[in-house]
Amino acid sequence: MKTIKYLSIAFALMLGISACELPDNVDPKRPTEVPISTLFTNAQVALVNQVNDVNVNRNMIRLIAQYWQETTYFDEARYNFQDRKIPDNYTAEFYRDVLMDFKEAKKKLNDPDYGGDAVEKTNMLSIITILEVYAWQCVFDAFGDMPYSQALMGAENSTPVYDDAATVYDDLLARISAAIDGLVMMVGDEEAGSFGAADLMYGGNPAAWKKFGASLKLRLGMRLADVSPTKAQAAVEQAVSAGVFTSQDESGYLFYIGVVPHVNAIYNAYFVDNRKDYLPTNTIIDLMLALDDPRLPLYFTEYEGEYVGAIAGLDGAQSYYNYSHFQDRFFEATFEAIMADYVEVEFLLAEAVERGFAVGGTAEGHYNAAIEASILYWEGSDTDVADYLALPDVGYGTAPGNYKQKIGTQKWIALYNRGIEGWTEWRRLDYPELNPPEHMVYSDIPKRLPYPYDEIAQNGTNYYAAVAKMGGTDDHRQPVFWDIVAPPF
């Protein structure tokens, strides 16, 4: 796994620390000009933090995906979105803290008076676009139609229309393709630059960002595999040609420096906020027990000599002390956040082969590589890998069910601790079978987030138009546009 050496430098950039002399009438705590590097770092960190957040006020998706269950408070695990206005907070993080800062950074880069290096400018714009596409995908995958073309305009337009999600996907694919093609690797014999230490993921390395962008494009393309196979195939094959991740070391990580507030989200919840609100569910523990999964002791602890998961969606509290807990690795302040990785890429390639896309290799080979990379990432052994793949319920040639069941089940396990992507791929592949919360049925498990509740008062005309398009109800059971295959359960 690669080591990031420039976090302390970037930390200073993010805070906007400056040693320069200021006139007496300038308040250094209220800057009128924010450096491009600071805007970029703030937006990048905000994106990573929101994707990985565990605070139910802003991101409850680990609960929806049934990786986690709540202890004392259990409404969110039973899909009460309104009391905490979770959709409003979820979107605010993306629109306000991520996309607005990226927009402002681009504006500064495109200013005619910008005097920086032309190649660095090109690379910076491309990297920003890649991360913008990532953020937009998180928004549209969660809600379906949302403001896009008229978004981020502030007072100029405070009532933006809701854009068609499928049309936005086309635009996101075009934007990420242009960004990948626009990255410049070398200038003469020297590696081309970009954000340098202000980039907490890759240190401004354009070659690394090209692989990240191509891997994200692969993800975008495969989302369309059921609803638009032709578009999906074109995007996937282009992504593979551009060069996706080929090892876990190339994956998109952010390594936290371990100083509050720049700490892992779980550490922040348990040690900074001093709360014990979450437990692993019976859904994931029972499945991993049934499969004799070697990652089980790497994910979770035992309770009285056994692995015991809290009941997903129980209509009542569950004691933190009567169940298995998360392993120590998750509680490290410096534990890295994953935005996209080789494991995900290999599962996508396995599925692409099954769908007849020209990506090279075999479905079984990519499937095995994904499982191997996941087990080794969690510090399992080569023996663990070999033994697991030899199990009849795991091996690609022997595991029961269709390729969606095989890939979907193993991918959901591997995406543990990546709530947004785990939930999204569960919706698309429909596996594994989750547990309906108490007093509910399977179809009650959310297929989307309801729209932000403030939209009714603040952008009512466009909100109701978007709801009418869904049949007249802002229903979390209504699938988004790419989720057209009904689950078999």
Least confident range of 16-30, 137-151, 315-329, 407-421: 16-30
Q: How many alpha carbons fall within 13 Å on the CB side of residue 164?
A: 5
Indicate whether 18 pLDDT > 60: no
Say which DSSP state 257 is in.
-
Indicate whether 40 pLDDT > 60: yes
Query: What pLDDT score was predicted for residue 28?
Result: 55
Distance in angstroms between the alpha carbons of the first and the last residue of the chain: 39
Least confident range of 30-34, 155-159, 460-464: 30-34
Query: What pLDDT score was predicted for residue 31?
Result: 54
Indicate whether 325 pLDDT > 60: yes
* Whole-angstrom distance, CA of residue 87 vs CA of residue 19: 40
361-376 mean pLDDT: 98
Burial 12-50 (b: 16+ CB within 10 A, else e): ebbebeeeeeeeeeeeeeeeeeeebbbbbbbbbbbbbbb
Contact 440, 313 (CB under 8 A): yes
164-171 mean pLDDT: 98
pTM of the model: 0.94
* Whole-angstrom distance, CA of residue 194 vs CA of residue 113: 18
Nearest to 427 by CA among 16, 141, 114, 84: 141
Position 30 confidence tier, pLDDT thresholds 50, 70, 90: low
438-450 mean pLDDT: 98
Domains of the chain: 7-17+34-291+304-342+435-469 (1.25.40.390)
Which of the two residues, 192 and 25, has the higher pLDDT score?
Answer: 192
Query: What pLDDT score was predicted for residue 11?
Result: 39
Which of the two residues, 8 and 88, has the higher pLDDT score?
Answer: 88
Indicate whether 227 pLDDT > 60: yes
Residues 6+ apart with CB under 8 A from 216: 130, 133, 134, 137, 176, 340
For the chain, give the longest Cα–Cα distance.
Answer: 75
Helices first, then strands: H and E counts in the chain: 19, 8
Indicate whether 25 pLDDT > 90: no
- Mean pLDDT of all residues belonging to the chain: 94
Q: Give me the helices (H) in 273-379, please.
A: 282-290, 296-299, 342-354, 363-377
Say which DSSP state 69 is in.
E
* Whole-angstrom distance, CA of residue 120 vs CA of residue 125: 9
Helix axes 403-414, 282-290, angle to 10 degrees: 120
419-426 mean pLDDT: 98
In a 3-state reduction of DSSP, which class is residue 171? helix
Query: What pLDDT score was predicted for residue 33?
Result: 79
Q: How many alpha carbons fall within 13 Å on the CB side of residue 252?
A: 28
Indicate whether 135 pLDDT > 50: yes
| Rounded percentage of the chain residues whose pLDDT exceeds 70 | 93
Indicate whether 338 pLDDT > 60: yes
252-254 and 337-340 beta bridge pairing: antiparallel
* Predicted confidence (pLDDT) per residue in 376-395, tens digit: 999 999 999 999 999 999 99
